[in-house]
């Protein structure tokens, strides 16, 4: 009787562990399963997929700060209009 009880406890532990992993990793597992399903589908054509847009599109203001254009940069105009410094 002790062997049966131990076996049932072990099986219950494995089942609960499996359920915990499924719940914890659900998004990753779903993406992987979808990829496997697509790769095994003979009627799947990758050219029919929609074009995906990035979740976080790049911030154009940040891009302009990092790579300023000379025609829009006010600091260049301020430096060029200043009087030159004479070396001694």
Runs of H (alpha helix) within the chain: 2-24, 26-40, 60-66, 74-81
pLDDT value for 72:
54
pLDDT value for 45:
77
32 CB-near residues (< 8 Å, 6+ apart): none
Question: Can you tell me the distance from the alpha carbon of 75 to that of 83, in angstroms, rounded to the nearest whole number?
Answer: 14
Question: Can you tell me the distance from the alpha carbon of 37 to that of 22, in angstroms, rounded to the nearest whole number?
Answer: 18
Question: Can you tell me the distance from the alpha carbon of 12 to that of 21, in angstroms, rounded to the nearest whole number?
Answer: 14
pLDDT value for 38:
85
pLDDT in tens, the chain (88 residues): 999 999 999 999 999 999 999 999 999 999 999 989 888 888 877 777 776 666 666 666 666 666 666 665 455 445 555 566 777 6
Token couple for 30: 């779903």
Question: Can you tell me the distance from the alpha carbon of 66 to that of 72, in angstroms, rounded to the nearest whole number?
Answer: 13
């Amino acid at each position: 009787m002790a062997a049966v009880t131990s076996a049932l406890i072990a099986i219950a532990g494995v089942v609960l562990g499996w359920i915990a992993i499924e719940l914890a990793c659900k998004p990753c597992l779903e993406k992987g399963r979808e990829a496997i399903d697509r790769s095994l589908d003979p009627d799947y054509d990758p050219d029919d997929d929609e074009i995906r847009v990035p979740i976080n599109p790049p911030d154009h203001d940040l891009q302009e700060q990092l790579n300023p254009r000379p025609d829009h940069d006010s600091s260049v105009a301020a430096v060029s209009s200043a009087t030159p410094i004479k070396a001694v």
